[in-house]
A = this chain, B = another copy of it.
Amino acid sequence: MGSRPNIPDIVIGRLPIYLRALYRMIQEEKEYTSSQELGERLGISSAQIRKDLSHFGEFGKQGTGYNIKFLHEKIRQILQVDREWLIAVVGVGDLGHAIAHYRGFAPRGFHVAALFDSAPTKIGEQIGGLTVMPVSAMKDEIHRQKIQVAMLSVPAEHAQQVANELIGAGIRAILNYAPITLAVPPDVRVQYIDPVAHLQHMTYYLRS
């Protein structure tokens, strides 16, 4: 698994989208698909899909196309989500609650395993079977459970400080909901969810 240094990150970023479409097809009890069909569902050209997948091997057959379960399993392996990753969530406001209650993680390789907050009124609260712990306990708990992935749903002004503490505790991937760009060491991955940025992207195209 450690020997694919040259695959563009933008290709890696499309694999979860393919996986999501394949998962949906499995739920629909379809058996085979094609790069054309996938492309139509996703608004991506079939040539792009074939080229993306060709980085990782030969998954389809001329004539019959892709076996959906097989391709789904292969992409799960490539993305390493054929196992369960534990997640620490920091910040249990409304958004943290939504994350803690979200049932879409487990079927796709993730499990919320710890909740943290700094507000005394929140510490001890039970959410989705977990007890909210103080941020001061974060380092020990992340070490204890060997958690590598965190979701950050704290106010923007605290996000960098909390990120630093998470990284110090061993976290290597952060999904950041705070609307700021984090400074992190090169071996730590960060992805951003900023709904307003998506909205602004769309209003460019609207004529009012």
Contact = CB atoms under 8 A, between A and B. Distances in A.
**Size class of the A contact interface (CB-based, 8 Å):** 35 or more
A94 interface: yes
Given A2-B207, A181-B41, A206-B80, A199 B93 contact: no
B94 A203 contact: no
B204 A78 contact: yes
A158 interface: no
A17 interface: yes
Interface stretch (A60-68, A132-140, A189-197): A189-197
Contact of A16 (B19, B105, B189, B201): B201
Contacts of A180: 20, 24
A69 interface: no
19 contacts: A12-B201, A12-B204, A16-B194, A16-B197, A16-B200, A16-B201, A20-B194, A43-B181, A79-B200, A81-B203, A83-B208, A93-B101, A94-B97, A94-B98, A99-B195, A104-B196, A151-B195, A191-B199, A192-B198
A2 B191 CA distance: 32
B203 A109 contact: yes
A110 B191 contact: no
Kindly list the 9 A-B residue pairs having the minimum CB-CB distance in the complex, ordered from nearest: A94-B98, A16-B197, A173-B202, A191-B198, A16-B200, A95-B98, A189-B202, A108-B196, A80-B203
